[in-house]
Structure 1
Amino acid sequence: MELTIVNVQINSIVGRMSYHCDLLFRVIDIKMKDGKKIAVLYGEDLRLMADSPFEDLVPIDPDQRSRISEEYRSLEEQSFELFQQDIHLLRQKQEYQATHGYNQEMSIFQIPGRVLHLDGDPNYLKKCLDLYEKVGLTVYGVHCYEKDMPSQVVPLIEKYRPDILVITGHDAYTKSKGLKSDLNAYRHSKYFVKTVREARRKVPHLDQLVIFAGACQSHFESLIHAGANFASSPQRVNIHALDPVYIVAKISYTSFMEQINVWDVLRNTLTGEKGLGGIETKGVLRTGMPYKPITEE
């Protein structure tokens, strides 16, 4: 056991013996509590934050990490394929409508919404930005610690003028701190709620600024009441790191003339309705014609 303690350091990938190493975590801080070393952990695939005594931690080598993560990679690939099918159908529908049932030859162009993504974890932000690029969206990504988000969000909105705002990072519900209805029993939900409220003071209309907010086990009801269009986590379950991207992409590629059915947004996420929810929301995509490539005079 001493070897385990010596080998765990900042950025180590670990599992928790008390949970049979069911999830992978990254050590982001080490602190002392009541004379014992405590590791502060961020989930590698799930947006979960936790504390753990050192004696409960097991270092995970690259081979073990690959095996444990294989299931998540498979789910990510499946979600991406389903999302691509959705986007293909949406584009076909938009092209059909723009050309009056393919009866007129017109070249169209599309302008997806502008996205601002605030993330409390720089590693997750990079993963999300990579996926945004893969699905063809340009996104302004900002790493911002959860507690700083309420003071930073309005200046960032003024700078980037987004159509969609993502507020996420890490969170967790701690039973010993209170009931699930108590906002103070959550790591970062109160900061997410404050950030949503500040954003709504700046842009009150739900369809002028679409907001996704929350992380693992976040206080869903408070986030929705604060003004989020979509949030986590109705059943206080963990959500996957990339779930916000699929929600944002669906909104970005849906016409502003159409209302999005909530289930249509959630069905291709990795977590589904237990971890994610929302309200009816309009898309943000705008279609124009004719398409004229930019050329030098």
Structure 2
Amino acid sequence: MSIQLMDIVGRVSYNCDIMFRVTDIKEENGVKMVVLYGEDFRLVADAPYEDLIKVNPSERKRMSKESQSREEQSYILFRQDVELLKQKQEYEATDSYSNTSSYFQMPGRVLHIDGDSNYLKKCLTLYERVGVPVYGIHCNEKEMPNKISSLLDYYRPDILVITGHDAYSKSKGNKGDINAYRHSKHFVQTVREARKKIPHLDQLVIFAGACQSHFESLIQAGANFASSPSRVNIHALDPVYIVAKISFTPFVERINVWDVLRNTLTGEKGLGGIETKGVLRTGMPFHKPND
């Protein structure tokens, strides 16, 4: 059975542990090679054509169901966190419930720049579900450094997400060599350009990176949160859970890094960061438009 563009496949040599989407088929030195994008993980990989097998519909359905179950569990835990934050805010905004004045909240606005249009759509759906105001831009990883300045000027976000695909290649160098990574250097350059515009870590909160990205370089470049400390794969939706937590945390509070990571699908092996202020602001009174 021939493999074609956009087919869902697995790598036989890896026991088909991850579902991939075929994005390119090419020939290198007489060997047929395939470029793969992870369906649920922000991983890009090259594989020999002969090492691939199509994932049959029943197996694909099973793996998708397992992934959706993990995603739903993370969503439930996240909603519990947000509800506790809202209750705390209501208590403080109403002076321990003694003030009956109504109030309103302004969650932090997110600009999410993604190298994968399919992942971006999934993330935007989740942002909408949790109630985070967001602008989504699909942009090739290599073009991000040149476009970030104008995008920041136009959208003026509180939180910036820079993500897409990445991968570490042992054949290109050791894990400390940023040139051994497919897109880490582009993410780093993008963070640096963003910090030229807005240097303060609490005026623009940045998440950057994808699967196996060079975590240390991203943090040093100015990211508040990044992937991947242990060079593991991260789930496509992990950036959303991180920035949504920041979006709903009041600006007068500092966020414990573990509190941000605990409800992600990947955890501290794939994600990390530094102490950061929240960006939510509360105001009053609240008036309905027709009042």
What TM-score, normalized by structure 2, do the two folds share?
A: 0.99
Corresponding residue number in structure 2 for 1:248: 243
Alignment of 1:25-174 (within 5 A): 25-174=20-169
The RMSD of aligned alpha carbons is 0.8
Output the CA distance in 2 between the equivalents of 1:294 and 1:205. Answer: 36
| One-letter amino acid of the counterpart of residue 217, structure 2 | S
- Deviation, 1:292, is 0.9
Corresponding residue number in structure 1 for 2:227: 232
* CA offsets 1:26-58 (integer angstroms, 9 cap, x no match): 011111101121110000000000001110000
2:15 corresponds to 1:20: yes
Q: Which runs of 5+ in 2 are unaligned?
A: none
Alignment of 1:169-208 (within 5 A): 169-208=164-203
Output the CA distance in 1 between the equivalents of 2:217 and 2:288. Answer: 46
* CA offsets 1:156-180 (integer angstroms, 9 cap, x no match): 0000000000000000001111010
Corresponding residue number in structure 2 for 1:11: 6
- Deviation, 1:197, is 0.2
What TM-score, normalized by structure 1, do the two folds share?
A: 0.97
2:243 corresponds to 1:258: no
- Deviation, 1:61, is 2.5
Corresponding residue number in structure 1 for 2:277: 282
* CA offsets 1:172-193 (integer angstroms, 9 cap, x no match): 0011110100000000000000
| One-letter amino acid of the counterpart of residue 61, structure 1 | N
| One-letter amino acid of the counterpart of residue 205, structure 1 | H
Output the CA distance in 2 between the equivalents of 1:71 and 1:187. Answer: 28
| One-letter amino acid of the counterpart of residue 85, structure 1 | Q
Output the CA distance in 1 between the equivalents of 2:83 and 2:103. Answer: 15
Q: Which moved more, 1:55-64 or 1:221-230?
A: 55-64
Provide the aligned length of Structure 1 versus Structure 2: 291
Aligned residues with identical type, % of pairs? 71
Output the CA distance in 2 between the equivalents of 1:229 and 1:213. Answer: 8
Output the CA distance in 2 between the equivalents of 1:89 and 1:189. Answer: 36
| One-letter amino acid of the counterpart of residue 132, structure 2 | L
